[in-house]
Structure formats: C-alpha cells, structure tokens
Amino acid sequence: MSSQFQGYQINKTEDGQTCELKQLSDDDLMEGDVTFKVEYSTLNYKDGLALTGSSPVVRKFPLTPGIDSCGTVLASESDRFSVGDKVILNGFGVGEGHSGGFAQKARVKSDWLVKLPDELNSRHAMAIGTAGYTSMLCVMALEKHGITPGHGDILVTGASGGVGSVAVALLSKLGYSVVAVTGRMNEESFLKGLGAAEIRDRAEFADKARPLSKELWAGAIDVAGGNTLANVISQIKYGGAIAACGLADSMSLPTTVAPFILRSITLYGIDSVMAPIALREQAWNRLVKDLDMSLLEDLSFDLDFNDLPQAGEDILAGKIRGRAIIKIPE
C-alpha cells in the first residue's frame, strides 16, 4: 500500500477545530508497533462529538477520529500479529488521543488489538462495534453474577439504541425473557423482532425513584443512569444485579442504599474502553457464538465514508437508528 492515503483529520484552530477529508501520509500515523489497512469502521456518539467539535473529546491535534475499526495488518513489530492478520480495534483512547479508523490506514500499539475471530468478517465486526461489544460485557457480568433465565425477566433500557438493541438480541438468544424499555414505542415491532418479550415506555422510569419498589426484575442492563437507573435499582429482585454502562439519561444516580442493604442487590459498572485484552477476546468470541448474525442486517445500515461529517451531526441530533457500517474506500 502506498505511503499516501485518504483520511479525515481534525486540526485545532483559534476558534475551535476543523475536520477535513485529506490526503495523508505515513508521517501522519501515530506511534505503535502494528500498522493496518482499515477496511471497515462505524460511528459512535463520541465520534459525533469529535467530528463536529461540539465537545472537547479530542485531546491531541492533528488527529484522525474513529473509535472503532477493523482491517488487515500491513506491518508488525509485534510477536502477536503477522502481516495479513485481521484485527479489531476499539477503546484505549483511540479517536480521542490517538488517531483512529476514519482513514485508510492506522498505526497503534499491538496491546490494543484483538484478532478478528475466524467466524466473523470485518463488516459484521463493525456492525457490532463498541456498542455490541459493550452489550456482551454487560451480559457476561450478569452471567458471572449467576443470573440464569430461570431467575426471571431481564430489563434492558435504551433498547432501541446501539448497546440496548444488541443486549436484547443477545439475552433473548441465550434464553432470557427480555423486557425492553424505550422512548420510541413505535419501535415495538423492531424490538420484538430482536426477541423482546415485552416493551415498556421509558416514561415509567423517568420520575424520582422511591427507595424500594415492587421487585420485578432478576437483572438489568442500563445505558441511561439518572432517574432511569434509580428506578431500575428500586425494582430489582432480592439478590439480583444490574450492569450499568451509560449515561443517556444522566450522569447522576439519585438512589439510596436501601436496595443494596435490604435486597442484597449488586450494581456492576461496565467499561469497554480500558477493558483488558483477555476480557475483550472472550467478549468477541462470545458474540460470534451468541449473536444471531442475521439480525445484524436489521440493526445496521451502510454509511458512505464521504458522508461522515453530516452523520456526525445526525448522531448528536438523535437522528440515527442502528449501527452505521462504513466501508473505507480502497
């Protein structure tokens, strides 16, 4: 591959930042022991913030955004990877402090890379992306807690979003009865198609929570935080658990210790960004086994590489449904 390649680059200006699709060269690549050809990427909310500059997520300039990417190794000084290996990259501050996937090439630390499982292609991996992989981490936390389908219903908040939709699909394939919470009640058929047994309006979870409410759920996956999570906590059955990964509602958590000390419930915090490689590999291998790949088509859509700046605006405006798959031009 030539030392020249196409990629988006964010530069700092006096009154903010610019983001342009330009001709880059190997000199623009950042430090690392593996260089790979990016074949597919996807779009996350944080990428929207980086592309538009509406929040200072980019910490180093110039920088190529793109948290998620998947491609083929072009050069490696690492024992773990050889030329031709397929790799997945996400987290570790890529797309914020280190150049990422919105370019034809990337160079990163081998410690950040996961080998693409043989059964998965790059397109599927990016349809799953950080959101899907985070869902798997949440499911694994509930399993580790010992929650089985026999314990009762599992609640998933933000069910039509990236993390929530994959969580619904995974849990239902694993035999759990899933209750999906959404603000988009018109998405009922989409959510039932993913395997949700029941749909609840998120308005039911919006008011200030009581310390304890009726015990309803064996476990929950929460992407919302705020009153939503506080209400979920108050409704978890004795000994149950919640895997919390997001703040789509709020960063606050207006709850009390009552459900913890009177019902022995557990709140697991899930972080995908700094998750160790062994856990990541486990999660990606579980996704191969436990996610119905035919559902990925319903969960995703193709986004043209050239349309990324507009898509960055759209994701911040909540106009994007499902996972964007971006094929990086050859």
Residue among 253 and 273 whose Cβ is closer to ligand NDP = 273
Residues pairing with 313 in the sheet: none
- Write the binding mask 270 to 299 for ligand NDP: x where contact by CB under 6 A, - elsewhere: xxxx--------------------------
- Closer CB to ligand NDP, 5 or 92, in the complex: 92
* Number of shown-chain residues binding ligand NDP (CB under 6 A): 28
Locus of tokens 């080998």: 115
Q: Provide long-range contacts, Cβ within 8 A and 24+ apart, for 109-113.
A: 109/31, 109/32, 109/33, 109/34, 110/32, 110/33, 110/34, 110/76, 110/77, 110/78, 110/80, 110/81, 111/277, 113/34, 113/36, 113/80, 113/81, 113/87, 113/88, 113/89
Cα distance between residue 147 and residue 134, in whole Å: 18
Tell the smallest beta-carbon distance from residue 167 to ligand NDP (Å).
9
Task: From 232, 234, 238, select the one nearest 263 (Cα to Cα).
Answer: 238
Site for ligand NDP in 142-171 (CB under 6 A): 157-164
Give the per-residue contact string, 178-197, with ligand NDP (x = CB under 6 A; - = no): ----xxx-------------
Three-state secondary structure call for residue 171 = helix
Q: Does 126 help bind ligand NDP (rule: CB under 6 A)?
A: no
Looking at the Cβ atoms of 150 and 276, the one nearer to ligand NDP is: 276
The residue from 131, 139, 265, 311 that contacts ligand NDP (CB under 6 A) is 131
Should residue 247 be labelled a site residue for ligand NDP when binding is judged by CB under 6 A? yes
CA distance 107 to 33: 7
Query: Within a 10 A sphere around the Cβ of 35, how many other Cβ atoms?
Result: 19
One character per residue 64-103, x = contact with ligand NDP (rule: CB under 6 A): ----------------------------------------
Q: Does 45 bind ligand NDP (CB under 6 A)?
A: yes
Q: State the residues that interact with ligand NDP by CB under 6 A.
A: 45, 130-131, 134, 157-164, 182-184, 202, 223-224, 228, 245-249, 270-273
